[in-house]
Amino acid sequence: MSILARTPAPPLAAAALLVLLASCSGEEQQTRIPTSVRSETSRPPVEQPAPELLSSQQAFIAVSSRVTPAVVNISAARITPERRLPAFFDDFFGEPLPESPHGPRKEQSLGSGFIISADGYILTNEHVVKGAEEIKVRLSDARTYPGKLIGVDPRTDVAVLKIAADAGLTAAVLGDSDKLQVGQWALAIGNPFGLDRTLTVGVISATGRANVGIEDYEDFVQTDASINPGNSGGPLLNIYGEVIGINTAIVASGQGIGFAIPINLARLIAKQLIEKGEVTRGWLGVSIQPLTSELAESFGLDKVSGALVNQVIPDSPAAGAGLRRGDILLSFGGKEVKGVRELQLLVANTPIDSVVPLELLRQNERLTVNVTIAAQTPPPVTRRPPPAHSEEGHGLGLAVTATEEGDGVLVGRVEVSSAAAAAGVRPGDIILAVNGSETGTPAAFEKAVRKALRAKHVVLLLRRGATTLYLAFPPG
């Protein structure tokens, strides 16, 4: 017995149901479900997509098919020691506790990379292979090889691997990241979350991103092409299929904010790692600081751009070229110095013994000097004794005392509500000059302060630890 029979419907409803069933049965042979498959009897909803869409789609397909064979999957294995309970637990229980049954653990991380030469050199991120005791590289055709670590540079997060393949390898073509423009297409290929050779598409959101806090030397390309864990070390590409960056990091709290190391920087690092196994950076021999609007105005600049020299190291390339404290560096090798990070990167990437023109502003006069870049050396470290007693620096809210060296006055106390405190003056700073007047004694400091209070800005030159810096603030 059917369910319909056990649950009878009212006569009119039953009749309507019979008519509906009969109608469905009669039209069964004529009804077709529309599909988007191209055929003689069924056409897609949009038969002629815009040519721009078709060309973009074809470009993405071409980039993926041409570059994917050069993208590799990197598996890095690390051995972590077993964790044992502290010894006082042995005393508590009266005898040593048994060792962990698991022993040392083997941890694996997945990342990406890309082949840069037919003989097996591979570019990736340093953090992908950091601490790895075993590295395996899997190609797009599933061949797997052990990876040999050629060298790493933690300061830029670049690493170079080498594999000995038994057949020819497809190498990626490196582009020119200096020519990138905001708004260009950007494509990322990698292994996010272990999903091999995933392609994502976006645009170049920004170039020259610094002060991100990821690496020591930052000049990132920012993109909204989706980058996720596992993409690290993979290529960022333009629509010509050229590598323009190494995908490196994302902003975890935001979406569509990814960073890539520009390929021009990575190429320089890789060249040194392959040739020497380490990176040697250029050194100028100055301590520099960024300009504030107050400092820029006090030094006669019409915009906040450049790097202010607050110390010249003796016997350095800068000293040999005649640079002085208070110089503002405007361009290096013909490239504008927008700030401290830009200058550090320009100098670091300059080959040793290169002679580079350096444009600077000194006492409202523009000069150009030639400097011979040397190899980078660590800065000297100096220590200063604590203050013994204090005398007031009237008008600035500072208490100062003489130093043993007699080259400045030592700040012992800073009034919290003072302009000096707001500008960043700290106890323990040594004030070397006020508005260009040297302050070797508390009396000289007081005299310089009285004069500075009549100026538009108070400019302090002070030493903090091993470095010197300028601070500027209104006299009020």
Sheet holding 144-146, edge to edge: 144-146, 134-138, 71-80, 105-115, 121-125, 158-162, 148-153
> Within 10 A of 25 (CB to CB), how many other CB atoms are there?
9
Residues 6+ apart with CB under 8 A from 37: 44
Check the CA dihedral 324-328-330-331 and report its sign. positive
Would you please indicate which residues are annotated as catalytic (active-site) residues?
127, 157, 232
* Alpha carbons 223 and 140: distance in angstroms, whole number: 25
Indicate the SS3 state at residue 217: coil
- HSE-CB for 321 with a 13 A CA cutoff: 27
* Alpha carbons 113 and 95: distance in angstroms, whole number: 50
Q: Residue 165 in contact with residue 147, Cβ under 8 Å?
A: no
Q: Which of 266, 286, 463, 273 is nearest to 377 (CA)?
A: 286
Q: Residue 452 in contact with residue 476, Cβ under 8 Å?
A: no
DSSP H helical segments within 40-97, as ranges? 51-67, 88-93
Q: Which of 160, 167, 161 is nearest to 140 (CA)?
A: 167
Residues 6+ apart with CB under 8 A from 189: 64, 67, 68, 71, 112, 197, 198, 199, 234, 235, 237
* Alpha carbons 462 and 448: distance in angstroms, whole number: 14
* Alpha carbons 310 and 326: distance in angstroms, whole number: 6
